[in-house]
Amino acid sequence: MAYLIAANWKMNKTVAESIDYIKTFKELVRDLKDVDIMIAPSFTALSSVSSLISDTNINLGAQNMFYAEKGAYTGEISPIMLKELNVKYVILGHSERRHIFGEKDELINKKVHAAIEFGLRPILCVGETLEERELGKTKSVVERQIRSGIAGLEKEVSSIDIAYEPVWAIGTGVNATVEQAQEVHQFIRNLIHDISKGNDKGTRILYGGSVNEKNASELIKAKDVEGFLVGTASLDPKKFYEIILKSMEV
Ligand code: PEP
């Protein structure tokens, strides 16, 4: 599997700003092969971005999704609405969804099921808070989030990517060290290997948390880091492009 380098723009960029970015970015990455590139803009920009990237090597992602196909769920976005716009990936269980919006493992699991059912590729985000790390709970928290996130999908593990994003590293400028990332990534690989009874070859384990054009080369050297989920640094097309180039050095 090619590595996946994914941009999470969060609640940034208007439609006009998104269009400007994509016009620059698609020229930069035009000749890149053997890497999967994904951009998750805001919901309001999905349609414009989708049209602009239709003939490129850039894949479209969504930052969240509800699990039902349609119905009385004010303010939510359904899997078929994303499919209509050629969305391929959906970020689920991002730490901001868990910690600001109170999403629990059970809800996230329903969303992961719905993504698979409707042919979207989930990027399931997991990661411990600083307090949990300091209490020595990193692995137990990550294990709980993964076991419940993919419960009932043991046969579909290869259709899911996982992002390890320590909460203390997201948007803080403090990235995990290569050793810290590798330790958890290896743990996750062994865990999903067990859960799937060995059918986890299609799953990429991404690292996220203050990845930038300066630390990407080092982090990607970790054996079980198979891509990145990038927030802040992905807002600049040149920086995101540099991160992609660095991730292709291994
Ligand atoms: C993220 O939003 O998933 C993220 C990792 O953000 P940042 O790169 O800004 O830490």
Please state, in angstroms and rounded to a whole number, the distance separating the CA atoms of residues 110 and 105. 9
| Residue 247 maps to a domain | no
Amino acid 250: pLDDT: 83
CATH at residue 191: 3.20.20.70
Residue in 128, 165, 226, 242 annotated catalytic: 165
- Helices 15-29, 237-247: inter-axial angle, 10-degree rounding: 40
Tell me which residue has its CA closest to atom 1 in ligand 1: 231
Which residue among 4, 5, 8, 64 is best mutated to probe the pocket of ligand 1, counting the most ligand atoms within 8 A of its Cβ? 8
Amino acid 188: pLDDT: 98
| Residue 150 maps to a domain | yes
Distance 191 CA to ligand 1 centre (A): 24
Q: Which is the closest atom of ligand 1 to the Cα of 94?
A: 3
Distance 207 CA to ligand 1 centre (A): 10
Q: Which of 102, 30, 52, 41 is nearest to 77 (CA)?
A: 41
| Residue 243 maps to a domain | no
Stated pTM of the model: 0.98
Host domain of residue 33? 3-236
Q: What is the domain count for the chain?
A: 1
| Residue 84 maps to a domain | yes
CA distances 126 to 35, 67, 99, 153, Å, are 23, 19, 12, 17
| Residue 176 maps to a domain | yes
Do residues 123 and 164 make contact, with C-beta atoms less than 8 angstroms apart?
no
| Residue 250 maps to a domain | no
| Residue 134 maps to a domain | yes
Give the type of residue at 51. Answer: S
Which residues in the chain land under pLDDT 50? none
Please state, in angstroms and rounded to a whole number, the distance separating the CA atoms of residues 37 and 193. 25
Supply the DSSP string of 16-52, one letter for each residue.
Answer: HHHHHHHHHHHHHHTT--SEEEEEE--GGGHHHHHHH
Residue 193 is among the residues annotated as catalytic for this protein:
no
| Residue 241 maps to a domain | no
Q: Which is the closest atom of ligand 1 to the Cα of 8?
A: 2
Do residues 86 and 54 make contact, with C-beta atoms less than 8 angstroms apart?
yes
Amino acid 53: pLDDT: 98
